[in-house]
Every structure is written in C-alpha cells, then in structure tokens.
Structure 1
Amino acid sequence: MLSDSLLALPLRASKARFESDFGQRSLLTVDTEEEFDWNGDFNAHQYGLKQFRALAKFQQFAEGIGVSPVYLIDWPIAQSPRAQELLGDAVRRGTAEIGLQLHPWVNPPHDEEVTPYNSFAGNLPAAVEREKFMRLRDAIERNFGCHPQIYRAGRYGLGPNTAKLLKEAGVAIDSSVRARFDYSAVHGVDYSRHPIEPYWVDAERKLLELPLTTVFWGLLRKQGQWLHPRASAYPLVNGILSRLALLEKIALTPEGVTRDEALRGIDIAIDDGLPLLVLSFHSPSLMVGQTPYVRNEDDLDALYDWLRAIYAYLALRSVRPTTVGEIIASVEV
C-alpha cells in the first residue's frame, strides 16, 4: 500500500513510468507570485504587482525558444486583470499553462495569525488549508477559464492533509517536493531523502508527484544523499568538496545556480535516465531588485542567457520541452 501522503517517502513500486515515445523531457515551472521583501516579515497586504511587462517579455522569449511555461499562480496574481489578460491569452493560444501556488499569508480567508510557521500552508489546520486552496482554485477557474491540474505549495510547504485536498479538488499533479532540500529548521518539510524521479502518491494513482530536479555531481555523488546533509553543517567542508569536484548539489534553476553548474547537472540527470527534468524560478526574478538573485541588469541578462544555454543544450541532448497536458496523457496508470 502506498502511504497516500505527500510527506512520506514513496515505495519503490510507486515510481511513475511513461509511454515509450515520451523519452526524456523537461518542464519549465514559474512560481508566479507578487513582489515582496524576501528578507522581511510576511504581510497579508504589503506587496507589489509590477511584473507584468517583464512577464510579457518572458512569455515572448519562451515562445521563441519553443517552451510552454507552467505559471503556478497565487492569489494576488489570480486576482489581477493584467495577469488574466496576459496569461489567459497565452493559455488560449496553447503556449502556456496555469497551475496553483498557495501563499497562505496573502490568500483569504485571513483567519490565522501571520507567522513564519503559518507561511507553510501544510502547517495550517486542515479546514483552513482547504478553504484557502479552494478559493484559489475557484478564482483561477473563474478568471482564467481553465481547471488547473498542477499545484506547488508556496515555500514547498506540504502538509499531512494536502494530498487528500488535491485529489478532492481534481488536481492531478503536485510539484512541491524539493528533493534533497531540508526546510525543517524553519518550520518546513525535510525533503532530503525524497527521490527526484516522478512517482505516484496514492495507491489509486490519481495523484502524481513531479519533484523539482536537483542532482548530486562529483566523484562522491553516489554518497551524496548521505554525505551532503552532513557536510552542509560545516560550510568550509562543503566548499572544499565542491572545489575538489567531489560533491556538489545542483538544482535546475537560474536562481543561484550558474549555467556551467546547471549543464553538469543536466548531464547527470540525463545519464541517470531521469524521464522528466523539472526546472523552476520565481516570476519576480524577471525584474531587477525584486529577489536576491537579480540585483541588477547584468543579473537579469544572465538569467536569460542561462535559459538560452540550457534549452539549447537540452535540445542537443534530445530532451524536448513538455507540458502538464502531455505528462498526464503519457504517464502509465
């Protein structure tokens, strides 16, 4: 029996398999959210929504390289007429998809105290998490004319009730598991032992998990799952392991990961036979000064250069971009 929980480690038998012609593919996910101070306190009402010109530029860029992004939108984005116009147009033209991302501190109802603990939706009481989620789902259906099929918990904050909630809401895919990362020190979930391969959460195979792709690279990468969490407690040791090409953790994101690092990570993922590479970044990074990763115009240029290089290399390695719709159609139930 599978655990029917997104927090539990999956059984080996739960590994998802895809039709033979699926091959190896990539999915670009964009955590599409309001601008806020990443170093400040969480606030239900103080945020910005200035990103839409930058988002339009990015959508044009993505179409130019043949990629259909998945915009995982939260409440402020779902309520924005400009987002509805921009992203709704892309969805209608078949060049983008819409999913859900729950930031509980900006998502009504605002009944809970806004705290770091409660910033993880999965930490909320089941009824509160459900009400926030359902309001977001209904808003997306109403404002964008589509039923979202993929979810990512803001701050990767899954909880014991999330899997049941997603199945009740008719959402087929979760992509909240950030494998090989541990957020337990800040009230979040420890995903350090979760696999990076897609897997079924429940025995009925109604909920598919697509973990964000993070690999270990280096001579000691086979020992990475055991060694890296221990080495990370000692920054000097971790740095030495990386400089000596012994062990490095590489997430497939332009945020804090260089192009060369990402290319090494892609080689590992492809050579290990990973069927789906899940890439991600946050939409405020498309503007200067809104995240720690894009502080100036050079950083913004680097983000676009990263995407160009990564998708050119994926094409060279015969890894095609895919969509949520194609994944649902191709996974073997």
Structure 2
Amino acid sequence: MNKTTRTLPPPGPRARFSSAFGRRFLLTVDTEEEFDWDGPFTRDRHGLRHVPRLRNFQEFCEAKGVVPSYLIDWPIANSTVAKDILGGAVARGTAEVGIQLHPWVNPPFEEDVDAHNSYAGNLSPDLERAKFLTLRNAIAENFGANPQLYRAGRYGFGSATTDLLREAGVGVDTSFRPLFDYRKGHGPDYADYPLEPFWLDGEMSVLELPLTTVYWGMLRRQGRLLYPLLSRLPRMRGLAANLGLLERIPLTPEGTTVDDAIRALDMAIDDGLPLIVLSFHSPSLALGHTPYVETDDDLDALYDWFRAVFAYLDRHGIRPTTVAEIMQSVVV
C-alpha cells in the first residue's frame, strides 16, 4: 500500500453562531479500548476493563449539568457494558455519542498495521470510507442514535475525509488539534490552523470544532512562529515556559495541571473564543491504562480538574453545550 501521508484541506470560512449561543464549552471523550501507548499497534491486544467506570463519570457530569460527547470506536461500539451505560444516557438526553475511528481495530482489515496506517486519513479513500461506515452503522444500531460528530483517532484527518463526512451526513468534525504537528509520526500538521470553529468546505456542510490549545506567556502572540523553533530544543522550550515567556497548554486533564488549565482558559477567554473544546481518553477513568492515571491520587486529580475547570468556566458565564445545540446555533 502507498505510504503517502495525505494533505489536509485548508480552513474554510470561520463559523458564526446566533447571538443567543453566547460562549460555550463542549466536553469530548475519546471513548476507546485500552492498549499499550508505548507498544506497536495491534489488532487484538487491547482490553475494555475500564468501561464500567464510564457510569461513574456520566453520573459526575450529570450532577454538574454537563452533557459529554462520547466519541466511540469499534471495540466500545460492540461492548454490551458500554451500550447499557451510555445508551440510557443518550436516551435521556444527558449524553451524546459520536464516532472515533481507530483503523487498526476497525474492520474491514485490509491494510498493514503500522504507525502510518494508524491515521485513518492516510488510508485509501475507499478503505477509510468502508471502515468509517462500518463503525457509524454499528454505533447507530447499538446506541440508538445517529452520530453527528467525528474525530479521527490520533487526529488522523485526511484529504478525503471532508467528502466522506458530507456524503455520510455527519455534519461536525473535531479532529483538528491546532498548534500541534504530527508529521514526524506520519500524521497531519495542524500547527497553523485556527482555534475558532470553521467550515471545512465552501458548501458549509461540515463544521470543524478544533480541540482547544493555547499559547501562554509574554511571547504568546508570536507563538506560532517561535514554538516550532523551541520544539527542536526541549531544554529551551522548558526554560521559556519556566520564565513565563511561552508555553503551549492543551485543555485536557491529561498532562495539564489545574493551574495550567486556568491560565489557558484565561487566554481563550481573552482571545474571545466562542467555543472551548475539552478532551481526554476514557481509559484514564481507571488506573494503569494511560500514562496520566496510575494511582488513586491521579484519578482523584482528574475529577478535581474537571470540578475546577467547570467552576471557572461557570464564573465567566461560559456554559456547557452539545453537538445538537451547536448545529442548531451555527449560522449558515
């Protein structure tokens, strides 16, 4: 198979929302199997032991008035435990389900299993489409919902993905991770994409909701120019952060402290972002499945992170939203 890394589409027009929408945040969960983050990709060496913990997290979110968007991949889509937990929440309107494509565990299995092909956008358009539709149909059947949100696993959007989403009637994507460049691992380069929601096509049929990452520090306005240079010198990057000059902060509890998240929120608020997109991986809801949650204290810290972030957003009048509400509020 051709190992070409496919190019991304350029950003289309910035999205506009109705005045009643205000400023909102969306909580997305990469709802996926457990696997060895440091090992090779495999078709079968994964687990679902953390899935019962989704019930705890869903109850936590419901108590906070937050509707999570669970981006479900193939092993989760076929888990009866996940169906029992999330299907009820979707029926109640207290959760949404979307699509997350991990090609290496998602049929049909025609490609080699390797790092290049772990990005769905690097596959042939026909194979990407076949995997996507197989997953979309399984989610619709097992969870009783027509998913309208997509995230390519490993943020692996490709040159044919917009057309695929349009043809499948999926109106919203959240694969783009601005300020990150994954080309060293055969992935896409999102470094220069906007933080604000934008359209992926001139027809305004597929809306992009980028994951929120910001630059913080005295040089943050020059971050898109300077940070790639600092990335070549890890010690300089750390020094720049410690001196308050420049730091990249993604809004996720995985690797970002509460204090750092608050600093990042201040920047997002100062920049006037209409939508803040939070994210994390569902295996972090149990111990030992991701590098971020290895002890009970780590798990407590994850929940404390969400408590603090939700409270800070609320104090600034930034309310939670849903994909359904976003689609109703965007001005076409």
TM-score, with structure 2 as normaliser:
0.97
Aligned to 2:232: 233
1-side partners of 2:117 and 2:202: how far apart?
Answer: 30
1-side partners of 2:252 and 2:295: how far apart?
Answer: 18
Aligned to 1:81: 80
Give the counterpart letter for 2:122 in structure 1. Answer: N
Do structure 1's residue 120 and structure 2's residue 119 form an aligned pair? Answer: yes
Aligned to 1:32: 31
Aligned to 2:318: 319
1-side partners of 2:51 and 2:213: how far apart?
Answer: 29
2-side partners of 1:287 and 1:200: how far apart?
Answer: 36
Aligned to 1:55: 54
Shift of 1:53: 2.1
Shift of 1:46: 1.4
Aligned to 1:269: 268
Query: What secondary structure sits across from 2:104 in the alignment?
Result: coil
Aligned to 1:170: 169
2-side partners of 1:211 and 1:139: how far apart?
Answer: 25
Query: What secondary structure sits across from 1:196 in the alignment?
Result: coil
2-side partners of 1:81 and 1:325: how far apart?
Answer: 25
Aligned to 1:41: 40
Shift of 1:6: 8.3
Q: How many residues align?
A: 327
* Fraction of identical pairs, as percent: 59
2-side partners of 1:46 and 1:258: how far apart?
Answer: 31
Aligned to 1:145: 144
2-side partners of 1:58 and 1:140: how far apart?
Answer: 20
Give the counterpart letter for 1:153 in structure 2. Answer: A
Query: What secondary structure sits across from 2:112 in the alignment?
Result: coil
Shift of 1:52: 2.2
1-side partners of 2:273 and 2:10: how far apart?
Answer: 18
1-side partners of 2:186 and 2:89: how far apart?
Answer: 36
Give the counterpart letter for 1:110 in structure 2. Answer: F
Give the counterpart letter for 2:282 in structure 1. Answer: S
2-side partners of 1:158 and 1:206: how far apart?
Answer: 16
Q: Is the 8 A contact 1:9 1:193 kept in 2?
A: no
CA deviation vs aligned residue, 1:199-247 (integer Å, no higher than 9, x gap): 0111111000000000111110000011011111101111111011111
2-side partners of 1:321 and 1:311: how far apart?
Answer: 9
Extract unaligned runs of 5+ from structure 2: 1-5
Shift of 1:54: 1.0
Aligned to 1:219: 218
Do structure 1's residue 187 and structure 2's residue 186 form an aligned pair? Answer: yes
Aligned to 1:10: 11
Q: Is the 8 A contact 2:69 2:322 kept in 1?
A: yes
Give the counterpart letter for 2:127 in structure 1. Answer: V
Give the counterpart letter for 2:63 in structure 1. Answer: G
Shift of 1:287: 0.6
Aligned to 2:98: 99
Aligned to 1:130: 129
RMSD: 1.0
2-side partners of 1:114 and 1:306: how far apart?
Answer: 35
Query: What secondary structure sits across from 1:278 in the alignment?
Result: strand
Give the counterpart letter for 1:107 in structure 2. Answer: N
Aligned to 1:309: 308
Give the counterpart letter for 1:41 in structure 2. Answer: P
Q: Is the 8 A contact 2:89 2:95 kept in 1?
A: yes
2-side partners of 1:195 and 1:6: how far apart?
Answer: 17
2-side partners of 1:271 and 1:63: how far apart?
Answer: 29
Do structure 1's residue 298 and structure 2's residue 292 form an aligned pair? Answer: no
Shift of 1:43: 0.7
Q: Is the 8 A contact 2:61 2:67 kept in 1?
A: yes
2-side partners of 1:114 and 1:175: how far apart?
Answer: 24
1-side partners of 2:66 and 2:249: how far apart?
Answer: 22
Query: What secondary structure sits across from 1:52 in the alignment?
Result: coil
Query: What secondary structure sits across from 2:331 in the alignment?
Result: coil
Give the counterpart letter for 1:52 in structure 2. Answer: V
2-side partners of 1:6 and 1:176: how far apart?
Answer: 14
Q: Following TM superposition, where does structure 1 have runs of at least 4 consecutive aligned residues deviating by more than 2 angstroms?
A: none
